[in-house]
Structure 1
Amino acid sequence: MKAKLHLVFSITIFFTCFCAFGQQAYWKTIPVKSSFKSASLKDMGKANAVFSLDKTLFSKKLNSLSNSKNGKHQIYLPDHKGNVVAFNIVETSVLHPDLAKKYPNIRSFSGHSLDGKYKVKLSSSHKGLQSMMVNLEDRKTAFMEQLSNKNNSYVIYERGAGSSGKDGFTCDTEKLQQSVEKTITPLVDDQMLRKFRIAVSTTGEYTDFHGGTVADALAAINATLTRVNEVFETDLGVTLELIPNNDLVIFTDPLTDPYNGNLNGEVQNTLTTTIGEENYDVGHLFNKVGEGEDNGNAGFIGAVCSDNRKGSAFSSAFSPQGDVFDLDFVSHELGHQFGANHTWSFESEGTGVQAEPASGTTIMGYAGIVTGNNVAPNGDDYYHYNSILQISNYLESVSCAQTTVLTNNPPVLTPVGDFIIPKSTAFVLEGIATDVDVDDVLTFTWEQIDNGVVTTSTFGPENPSGANFRSLPPTTNPARYFPRLSRVVQGNLTQTNPATNDAWETVSSIQRNLSFAFTVRDNAVGGGQVVSDLLDVQVISSAGPFLVTSQAANEIYEGGSVQEITWDVANTNISPINVGTVDIFLSLDGGISFPITLAEDVLNDGSEEILVPGNATDMARIMVKASDNVFFAVNSDNFSIQESQVVLNLQNLSFETCQPDDIIVDFTYQTFSGFNETSTFSADLPIGLNAAFVPALADANDTAVELTISNTNAVAPGVYPITITSTSASETKIVPLSLVIKDTNFSNVVLVSPADSQANVSISTQLNWEDNPLYSDYDIEIATDIGFANIIESATVPFNLYQSNGLAAETDYFWRIRPKNNCGTGSFGTPFSFTTIQVDCKNMEPNDLPLEISNVGTPTISTSVQFFEDLPISDVNVGLEFTHTYLEDLRISLISPSGTRVVLISNTCGELNNLNAIFDDDGAPIVCSGNPAISGTVSPLGSLASLKGESTLGEWVLEIQDTANGDGGSLVAFSLEVCVEGAFRPDEDEDGVFDDGDDLCLGTPKGVEVDTSGCPVNRFPSDNFLVQIESEACRNNNDGTVSVTASDTSITYSATLDGEGNTLNMDFSETHIFQGLQAGNYSLCITGTNGAITYQETCFAIVISEPELLSASAVVTANVLALSLNGGEFYNVELNGLVTQTVDSEIQLNLKNGRNTLKISTNLPCQGTYEDSFFISSKPIVYPNPVGASTKVFLNGIIGEVEVQVFSANGRLVHQQVKETNGNELEMDFSTLPTGAYYMSIQSLDIKEVFKLIKE
C-alpha cells in the first residue's frame, strides 16, 4: 500500500505543478548565468533558480487584493526547487496607513501555500519584489530578490547562500546578567498579537546605497521589516509597524545627517527630538559602513517602551540588505531591544542563557563571525527557546503594545517526563502536541538549554556543562535523535574539536544532567502561538554504553529464518535506570528509517530471538530501544536478507497461557517470486497438546493463519519448545517456537544474596534470587522490621535481581520476594535479613599550600592528597579556597586514583574574582556574585556521584588549568572529604602507617617520610657527599680511583663499592679513596650513624673508564689526505717521516707523488698505532709487477664503480668484474691464474687504462 500512496502523491505533485504553470502567466524560468548579478547572492552557482516576471500582470494580481473578500487572493510564487506554488495571501502592511497613503507602491503581504507546506512574506515596491518563503516541513528558508543587471528577473536562493560581508560583524550590546530558571512555560499562548510602533532612521550613506531618495530608503526598510515580521509573528506573537511620519528621520545626505560616530546616542536623540518619545515604541537606525566594519548595538537589553532607551539601537553593514542584514543583523539587535541576551557560548557573559555551543546558529547567536568557533557560516531564521522565554518575560513587563485578539488557539502539549540514561549512548526525544486549528502546521524543536561556556576545543563527550547538541531548525517531525540517526548508524556518537558545518553533536561519556526544551510553533499567518515543555535527561556513569553486539559483520540471513539479536545491557536493567524491556526494530535502508517492529516489550536481558521478515535487502540494520525510556543502539554494520519463497511471519516466537486456556498463535503466510504452490501447516507438539490451523493450508500471499493449541491441562506447567511447519511440493519452512504453560500454583522464591543474617552488607547492595521461567515478575519489599510494618523500599521487576537504593548504614533490614505471572500472584516467602556496613568519613588536606597561579602564560598547577586504604566510596565533597582575578580563565578538576575526572568549575563567572566554597552534589547551583564570586556549598559542574563505588586507595589530584594569560592568583586551601563503606583505620599523623598496631612511631610530624613501621626515614642532605672519579690512566692499568668526602664529619660512615666482581667496604668520617680499580660500572652506597640517628643508605652510580683504542680513517682526494682520528686526546701524525702533533680529530695533509707512508700514535702507548701507505700518480699504477697471488692498482682519487677485465696474451678474456673504489687503491686477486703474460684493462667514467702484467 505504501508504494501505491507514493505513486498517487507523485501524480498529485505533477498535476499541481502543471496547473500552477497553466494558471499563471507571469513567472517563467530562465537559465542561470554566471553573469547575473544580485545584491545578496554573489555566487550565481548557488542560485536555485532564476525567473522572469511579467511585472504588469503580477501587479494587477496584487492590486486586485483590495477588491477580494477578506482581502485574500491567490497568487503564484516560485519556491526553492524552481516550482511555481499557489499561495493564499493577504496584505499585511508594515507601513502605518497614513505612511502607506503617501507611498502606495510600498506594500507587504503574508500568506501560506494551498498545501500548507510553505509560509511566505512578500514585499513590493518600485524597487521590485522580495520574498521570504519558509518550508514548514524542514524549515529551509528561500529568498527571492531582483537581479541588478536584468530587468524584471528574480533569483531564488536558500538561506546561507547569500553573502553580505558578515565576517567583520560585532554586536557591542552590553549583556544583562540574570539567571533563567528551568520551568514549564507557555511562552506565547495568550492569543494576543502585540503590535509595536517602530521608528527606523537611516544615515545618508544607507539612503545613497539604496538609490538616494526617501522612497528608495523606505522600500528597503519595508523589505527588511517584512522579513523581520515573519520571525516576530511566528516566534513571538509580535508585529512591527512603521510610524506614520517615519520619512522625517530618513536622511539623504551623509554630510548633513545627524550621525557622526556615537550612533547609540545620536539615533536616540534624533528620534526623541524629531518623532517624540510618545509617538513610537521601539527605534532603530539602519546604516551603511565600509567593508569589514559591520557592527550593531542595541544600546540596552530590554528597551522597548522605555523612554530615552527604546531608540538607541543601530545595525550597520557594508551591504545593508538581503537575508543576512535582515535576520542576522536587524533581528539580532531587535532581539536585544525586546529583552534577549546572546545564546552563543564561546565565552562567558554570565546571563544564564548561553546554551548554544560556540558561535550558536539561532538569531541571538554569532554564526559565521567567530573565527575558530563557528558552528555554521550563517545563522538560522528563528529564535532559541531561551530567547523566546526572555522576550516573552520582558513583554509581560511592558504595556505600550497595541493588542489584537487572535482566534488562533495555542497548541496543547502532553508533558513528557524526565529520563535517566547510560553514558556514551544515543537517545531520541519525542513530544506530543495537538492543535484544534486544523489548518495550523505545527513545527517542533528539541533544544538543549544548559548554560555554560563551550568552545571548539572544549566541545566533546567529557564536557561537564553547557550544550552537547546544537540547535536545529523547527521541522514537522516531533522527534529528534541525539546525535542525528545518520551519525548513530555510522558509529559517530561523539565528536571533539568540530569544525564549521560539522554536526556539533556528542553524547556524554561522563555523569551529568542534560536539559531540553520541546518548543511547538503553530505557524499561523498573522500571529503565531508558541508553547514549550522542559525535561531532563540524566546521564549516569555507572551504566553504559548500551550497545547492539550482534550483526557486527555483513551477514546474510534468509527471510523467515530465526536469528538471535544480542546487546550489552550495561547495567540499564538495574537502579537507577531500571529498564525492564526493550523494543527491536529493523531498517531496510541502511538505518535511514526503522519501520519494521521485530519485537516489543521483550526482556532487557541481552538477547532475543526474532523472525527475519521476507523483505529482501542488503542494507538491513537492527535498533534496540528501551521500551519506556529514550536510549537506543544500532548494530555496527549492514547485513543482508535474502528472499525466501515462503515466510511464516510471526510477531512473537514465545507464547504463554494459563491452564486450561488455549494458546492462540497468529501468523501470516507470505509468498515471494510468484510462488503459488499449496502449503500444508503442521505443528510438532508435546504429547497431550492438540493443534488446529485455520486455514489448514494456503496457496496465496498474505494469508492470515490462526493456530490454536488446546488441552493445555494435559501437560505439566513448564516451557516447551515446539515447531510449526509449512510444507509444499518444493518448499518446507520450519519455525521454532516456545510455549510457556503456567498455572496458579506458586512456590516460594529461593533467596540467594545477601545471605540470611549477613553482616557488613553494602548500602547499595544488589538482591539476588533464583529465577523461575514460569514467573514473569517479582515483587520486592525491604523493611526495617521482620513484620514488614515499616517498608522502606518496594518495587516490581522482571529480573531475578534488584539494586537497592539509599539504604542507611549500620541498619538491620529484612527483604522478601513474591512471584507473579499472568495467572495470578504468589505469596511472600520467608524473609532474609542483613545488616548494612558502617559508613565512615575522613577529611584530608595537602601540605604544600599555598600555591601560586602565575599570571604569565597558561599554567597548570596541581596538589594532591593520599589515601592508603582500599575502601569503596559512598560520597565525596571538596573544599576549595583560592584567589584569582577573572574566574572565567579557570578550569578546576578533581582526579581520582582510577583516573575519573570531575570538573568543579570551568570558565565560570566571567570577570568576577575569587572562590571560597564547598562542592557537594547536594549543594545549590553556582550563582556568580560578590567577592568571592562563588561561596557557600554549591554543586559542581561535573558529578561527584560518579566517584561512588571507586576505591579510595591512591593519589587524589586537584588540577587547576589557567586557560588565559594575564590574570593570576593563589590556591589557598584544598580539602577532600571522602565517605566510605567500612571504617578508616586510625592514622593521626597521616603517614600511611596505621596507629592500631602498625605505627611504632606515633605522632610523626605531617609530611615527614616514614618507613613501614611509621618511623621517620633519615636521609643525608643531598649535598653531604663529594664523589670524585679518576679513570684508568691507560688501558688495563687497573689504576682507577673513587674518592668520597663527607661535609658532616660528626657521622661515622660505612661505604660499600660494588662492581666488576669485587666488593670493597670501608668506614670513614671525612674522606676515603678506593684505589686500584679497573674500568667498569660500580655502585657506591653509604650509610652512617651519629649514635642517635641511623641514616638511610644513599647510593651513587660510578663509571670507571679507560682510554679507547686509537682508530683512524683516511680518504685521499686530489693529492690531499683527509684523516678522521678517534680515541686519543693528543695525536702524533707521521707522514713520510715528518711528524705533525695535534689535538684535533680532523686533519688534512698533502701527499707527494709516488709512495707515501703514514703512521699515527697518541701520547699513550697502550692505545696502539695506525699505519697505512698511499701511492700518488697522475694515472693509475699497478704494483708490484710482476705479481704474485695479488697486486694493487693505485687509482689517484677515483671514486665509484670501476670495471676490471683481464686478458691472456692471445686476447682471451679470463677475468671480469665491477668493483666499488674509495679513491685510494684497488686490490686484485690473481691466485687462480697460471704464470704468464696478461693484459689488465681498468675503466670508469674518468679513466681508461691498460696494463701489461707478468704473473710469476
Structure 2
Amino acid sequence: MKKLLLFVLLLMGVAATAQVANTPPDIRICDQGTIDGFETFELTVNDSAILGGQNPADYIVTYHLTLADAQVNLNVLPTFFINSFNPQSIGARVTETATGNFAITSFNLEVVTAPQAFPFTNPLTYCDTDNDNVGYFDLTITGSELVAGQSNVNVEFYEYLAEANQGVGAINTSVLYENINTNADGDNNPATQTIYAVLIDTNSSSSCTTTVPVNLVVQNAPVLPSDPLIYAQCEEQPNITDGLVVFDLVSYESALLYTEIIASGGNIAEYSSTYHTGLLANGSPNPISIIANPSAFVNVSTPNQVIYAQVENTLTGCTSFKEITLQVYLLPAANHYLDYVLCEDDYYSDMDGVQIFDLPSQIPNMIASTDGLTITFYEVLNLTTGVLTPILASDIETYENISNPQDVFVQFENAAGCSVVKILKLTVNPNPTPLTNTEIIDTLGNGGVMTGCEGYVYGQGAIFDLTQWEVAIIDGEIGVSANYYTNYDDARAGINAIATPATYNNISNQQTIYVSVINDGTGVSANGTGCQTIVEFDIKLEGCELPQDNLTVETISETCVGVDNGMIQITATEAYTYEVSVSLNGNTIVVSPYTFTDVISIPNLASGTYYVCVTATEVNVTQCYDVYVDAVEDLTGFSGRMGNVYRLTLTGSKQYNVSINDVITEMTTATATETITFEYELSTEVTTVKVTTNKECQGRFEEIVLLDDATLVVFPNPVQNELRFSSVMELSSVVIYDMTGKVVLRNATTKEMINVAELMKGVYFIKATSGTSVYTSKFIKK
C-alpha cells in the first residue's frame, strides 16, 4: 500500500474588489499498485486554495482539461479524475454566481513513484522444536530480499498496519523477532501472524512509501514420545551369548516412535525417519552417521547402545529427533535357592511338617535385582511337556507346602520376555521336644515351682540356680541347649537372655522364668536348625525369715461400750508389700484397704480379742498376733471436801482432763481400772470443776464448789440405790434438788444413808442439816 504525499501550499493574494482565481499548489500522489504513472486525483482538494479568502457561497470552482478550456468553460472535469499523462497541467475557473464574471488559473497533477518491493520469501516459517507456538525470525533477511540491493531504500517492520501508516512502534530488527500472536487462526498449528514491512526511499522528498504484509508462520516439529525409548530384545538362545542381535528400526517406528503423532490424528505417511549413531557438536544427528540398513541393524555395543531417530514432516520440512536405547536383555541372572527353611509352627505331637511360606521374601536369595522383571511362582513342573502349574498370586505370601521338603519353580521374565525358571526348595524342620509345661508341673519342684531363699537380701531377692532342672527339662534330647529369659517375647526373639542363670536374683515373687530349648547342634557335628521350644516354670521365695521386731501390732484406741470404735495399728520396719487379714471369734473382719508398706490402721472395732495375720508378699512370710481391744466403762468419780481442800476421786479411764476454773490438768494411769485422786485447795468464792476423758462416750463430771459451803461427802457417786454419808454426826434432815433447783426428795434420815432409787438419772444437789450446821454436796444418779 502506498501513502499520499503531503501537498505543497503556495499562498496567493486575493483581490478584494473582483473575483480572483488564486494559483493553487500542484497535487502530488504516490503511484498506487502497478507502477504506471496513473492515479485518481481528487481535484476539489484545491477549492479553498483557489478561492483564498472569497466566500465559497458566492462562487463556483470548476476544473478543466486545459487552461484554454477553463477560459471558454469547456471539458469540465469530475471531482475524481485519472490523469492522462504524467505530469499533467489542469485549468481551474472561478465564476461569480451573481454576475457571471470569472477568473482562471492552472496547476499540475503529478504521480510520484514509491520504492519498489521485490519478491521475497513469504511466509517466513519457523520450526518450533518445543511446540509452544513461539518462534524467532531474522527480519533483516526479509528486508534484504525486499530491497534487492537498492541502496536508497530502507525497510522498517511494524506489528500493526495502523502503526505502519503512522510510522510509530517500529520493530527492533537488531535482534531476532519473537512472534506475539501464537494462534491467530485458532487451530493452534501452525501459529500465524502478519506484520508489515514499509519501504522508504531515502533520496526522495515525496515521502512515498511501499507497505508490504509479511506473514510469519510457526510450524510444530514432529511430536515424539516424551518418555525414554527403549527398544529391547532378548539375547539369542540357546548358545549365542555375545549380546549382539538384529533390530528392525523401521517396524519400531509405527510401534513406538510415531505413537504421539498417531494419537494426535496425524498421518504417518507425511513423515519420514532416518537413524543415526552419532550427534554433531550442536546436538543434532550427524548426517554421516546415518544407519544405512535400519530394517536389519545389528548393535555394535552391548547390553545398551544409544542411537538417534530423526523424524521429518515432509510437508513442512520441520524435524525432531529422539534418543533410542537399543537394549539387549541377557537372560535374568537368577540362581536356584535350596535353603528356605522354617521351623514347625506346632509342637510335640501336633507337628505335621506343614508351614506357611512367604515365597517373595526369598527372591533376594535367587537374584540380585528384580528391576524390570516379572516373577511367577509354580507348584508343579511337568518335565516332559515343560508345562507349569501356577500358584495363585493371592497365595504366594502365605503359601502352605504340600510336601516336606518341596520344590517350587520360580520364573524370572524381563520386559523383553526373556525368562528362566529356577528352583526354590522349601523345608520344614521340627522343634525340640523338652518336657512340656504340664510335665514340669508334674515332675519338678513344688508343682513346677522352684523355691528358695539362698542369699536373700531385703529388697534384692534371693539367688536361684535356674539351671538345676536343665538336664531334666531337655529330657535327653541331643543337639540342643537351653537359655533363660524373664519374658516370653525376649525368649521368642532370642534377645536379653539371663547372663548368669546359675546365680540369678529374682525380681518379683512369684516370678515366671522362660526356658528356650534351641536346636543349635550342641554336642553333635551339626550346625543346628535354630528351631526352639519355649517352656516355663516359676521361682518363689520360700523359707525366708523376717526380724522378730519387724512388725508392731498394738491397740491404740479402746472402744466405747455399745459404740465399736476401737482401733488396731500395725507398723512395719521393712518396706515390703504386706497383706493383712483380721478375724474375731473365727469370723473374718473385712479390712479395706488390706495392703500396706509401712503402717496401717484398722478402725471401727468392737471389744474383743482379734486374730491378726500379716504377710510380706515378696518373701511369702506370715506372722500372726492376738490383739485385745478393751471396752472403756463410764467415767466414775466422786468429790469431797475437808475444810478448804477439795478432793476428787476418779476411775474408768487411763487419761483424764481435770479443769478447775478452766485451768486444765492432764492425769494418766496405767489401766482404766486404776483409781486416781486429785486434790485442790479452794481459794475463790466459786470454783467450777469439769472432768473429761479422751473418750467422749465415757461422759463427764461437773460441779460448782462454793468456798463458804461446808461439804458433805457422799458415796458411792454415781449412785444406784443407797447414797451414804461420810459425816459422823447425826443429820436431822436431808433435801435433794435437781439441776433446776426443784426439791425432788425430802427426808429425815440417820447419819448413814438415804435411798435415791426412785430418782431419775442425772446430777443432783444434796443439802443436809445437823443441828445448826448445813452441809452440801453433789452426786450423780445412774
**TM > 0.5 between the two?**
no
TM-score, structure 2 as length reference: 0.21
TM-score, structure 1 as length reference: 0.14
Structure exhibiting the larger radius of gyration computed from Cα positions: 2
